[in-house]
A and B are shown apart, each in its own frame.
Chain A
Amino acid sequence: MKNNLKVLRAMRDWSQAELAGHLDVSRQAINAIETGKYDPSLPLAFKIARLFEQNIEEIFDDEFAGG
């Protein structure tokens, strides 16, 4: 699943480790989400959305949403 987490993180000038600290996950988890290797769970996706004050759909791009 594509996402713009890297862009949002860059806008706040956070490192992966800093974002990981805010979300209670590891730096590797942030890296895996940003590179699309790992899709976060729903609770983590909500946590990310709340942190960046956006809707989940604005952060994560569901490829199948159109069809």
Chain B
Amino acid sequence: MPYNPIVPTEEDRSFAHFLKYIGFLASFFFLTSYFFPVSAGTEKILMAMTSSILLTSIFSSRFDEHYYNLRNEGCKWAMAAIIVPLLISALLSVGSLSDKLGLMLATTNNSEINGITLIIDAVLMAKMACFAFYAGVIFKSLRP
């Protein structure tokens, strides 16, 4: 059989499993940089590392079925990291809406009803999703 340089080798496939630890560390520091600000240059390096490793992890087809299985778990965790804050915000907004409706009925002051403003920090959510992806991958790979 002729040598085909495109066919991934065992080393290529194993590299994905090495990459998950690098991605986990990068996404961890990327997330913590939200709470403990670092220099702009470091932030950009962390952002570039996290996003490029994540893109490789998600879209590369040079890995094996075991990694794809771990990746599915990571995707579930990442989605949960996005959905849970949205759900909490939605529940809080219902409470806020009830308060404002109650206030309106009590005071008949319509100017108090100015819509529910839900401010979810998109950057934090993105950082949490990146970290959650790798947390899910690592958790599943280490779980007995």
Contacts and interface: CB of A to CB of B under 8 A. Distances in A.
A44 B66 CA distance: 10
Interface residues of B, number: 15
B65 A40 contact: yes
Nearest to A24: B64
Most central of A17, A21, A33, A37 by chain B CB within 10 Å = A37
Contacts, number: 47
Most central of B16, B64, B65, B66 by chain A CB within 10 Å = B66
A17 B14 CA distance: 9
B108 to A, nearest CB: 63
Contacts of A37: 141, 143-144
A28 B10 contact: no
A4 to B, nearest CB: 19
20 contacts: A17-B10, A20-B13, A24-B13, A24-B64, A25-B10, A25-B13, A25-B66, A26-B14, A26-B17, A28-B14, A28-B66, A28-B141, A29-B13, A29-B64, A29-B65, A29-B67, A32-B66, A37-B141, A37-B143, A40-B65
Interface of A: 17, 20-21, 24-29, 32-33, 35, 37-38, 40-41, 44
